[in-house]
């Protein structure tokens, strides 16, 4: 019997369906190495990454998000007209107005739905899921689409040996709706500002406006610093999320952390002492780090492969620039 998530609310919410979208352009490590001083074996050993997807010009963040959302709605047995609100998390959208979420609503055909963007980098999906949970639980919205969509190839320097091989593009989505029992546990979240500059843009767009010769403000990362932080922080926030939901690692069926690096995932599995029976997402090998889209992409991949039992408990954890972090336990759709 699956243990029930603890909740203080009188109205409950859960994930009703998930979906994903991957650009057709699959880029292997060999291609990445054409512009950086590295080799495919070094990349895979360091990160676990073998391939990633890069979007074409017409595969915008709103478009990819809408395609993932369509699949999530279909899995939930719903249509765009059933959507009350769309939360789109992204860190790579370069077109500020209209918001990506509004453009996604238009592309999806969810006319009249509320829409807003949420910026929490690689923790964006977990943050957004927490907001969606409460919107449904308080009765403000009936069905909320949580979309993670990224074009990391727009903000990463293909000649930067420390970041060029890490990131990919794509979108994932989840439909959150009402439930008879708790389906999304309390979020445990925060920001470790001692590492505020560990993942950041090199400069502001204002500098580019004022001086056209200034280098594009690519994303930069202090890899060793982030790795050392994540090794301890991910397991800690997951442990707190389990306690907040009133469950233990023995109750978990699937672990879906942010797909940043296989070594970070493996370290979290070891620190949490997850039983061998727990399915662990390691889709970073094929997807790369897709920031705010990585968790729904991974969850949909495991669900489609039959590796997630409906009704079982899934532990999720997001972490990234800020350094922001969040985790929660959810019931698998």
Which residues are part of the catalytic machinery?
A: 122, 258, 289
Quick one: three-class SS letters along 209-278?
HHCCCCCCCCEEECHHHHHHHHHHHHHHHHHHHHHHHCCCHHHEEEEEECCCCHHHHHHHHHHHCCCCCC
Supply the DSSP symbol for 92: -
What gap in Å lies between CA 47 and CA 128, rounded to an integer?
A: 27
Crossing angle for the helix pair 262-272 and 223-245, to the nearest 10 degrees: 40
Q: Which residues contact 279 (CB under 8 A, 6 or more apart)?
A: 253, 254, 255, 302, 307, 308
Q: How far is CA 294 from the centre of its chain?
A: 4
Q: How many CB atoms lie within 10 A of CB 116?
A: 14
What gap in Å lies between CA 294 and CA 119, rounded to an integer?
A: 15
Tokens of 45: 């050993």
What gap in Å lies between CA 234 and CA 251, rounded to an integer?
A: 19
Q: Which residues contact 157 (CB under 8 A, 6 or more apart)?
A: 163, 164, 216, 218, 219
User: Please, what is the end-to-end C-alpha distance for the chain in angstroms?
Assistant: 16
Q: How far is CA 19 from the centre of its chain?
A: 13
The β-bridge partners of 116 are 87
Q: Do 188 and 241 meet the contact criterion of CB atoms below 8 Å apart?
A: yes
């Amino acid at each position: 019997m699956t243990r029930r998530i603890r909740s203080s609310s009188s109205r409950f919410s859960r994930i009703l369906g998930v979906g994903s979208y991957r650009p057709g352009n699959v880029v292997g490590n060999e291609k990445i190495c054409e512009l950086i001083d590295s080799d495919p074996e070094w990349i895979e050993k360091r990160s676990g990454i073998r391939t990633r997807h890069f979007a074409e010009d017409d595969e915008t963040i709103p478009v990819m998000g809408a395609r993932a959302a369509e699949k999530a709605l279909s899995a939930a047995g719903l249509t765009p007209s059933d959507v009350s609100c769309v939360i789109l998390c992204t860190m790579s959208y370069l077109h500020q107005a209209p918001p990506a979420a509004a453009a996604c609503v238009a592309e999806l055909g969810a006319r009249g739905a509320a829409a807003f963007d949420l910026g929490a980098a690689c923790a964006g999906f977990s943050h957004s899921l927490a907001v969606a949970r409460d919107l449904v639980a308080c009765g403000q919205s009936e069905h909320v689409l949580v979309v993670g969509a990224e074009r990391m190839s727009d903000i990463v320097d293909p000649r930067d040996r420390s970041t060029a091989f890490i990131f990919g593009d794509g979108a994932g989505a989840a439909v959150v709706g009402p439930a008879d029992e708790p389906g999304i546990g309390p979020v445990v979240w925060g920001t470790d500002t001692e590492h505020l500059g560990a993942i950041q843009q090199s400069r502001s767009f204002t500098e580019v406006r004022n001086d056209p010769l200034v280098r594009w403000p690519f994303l930069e990362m202090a890899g060793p610093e982030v790795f050392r932080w994540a090794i301890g922080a991910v397991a800690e926030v997951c442990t707190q999320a389990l306690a907040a939901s009133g469950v233990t690692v023995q109750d978990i069926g699937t672990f879906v952390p942010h797909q940043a690096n296989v070594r970070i995932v493996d370290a979290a599995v070891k620190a949490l002492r997850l039983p061998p029976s727990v399915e662990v997402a390691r889709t970073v090998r094929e997807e790369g780090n897709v920031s705010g889209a990585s968790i729904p992409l991974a969850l949909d991949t495991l669900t489609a492969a039959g590796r997630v039992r409906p009704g079982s408990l899934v532990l999720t954890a997001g972490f990234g620039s800020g350094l922001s972090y969040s985790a929660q336990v959810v019931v698998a759709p």
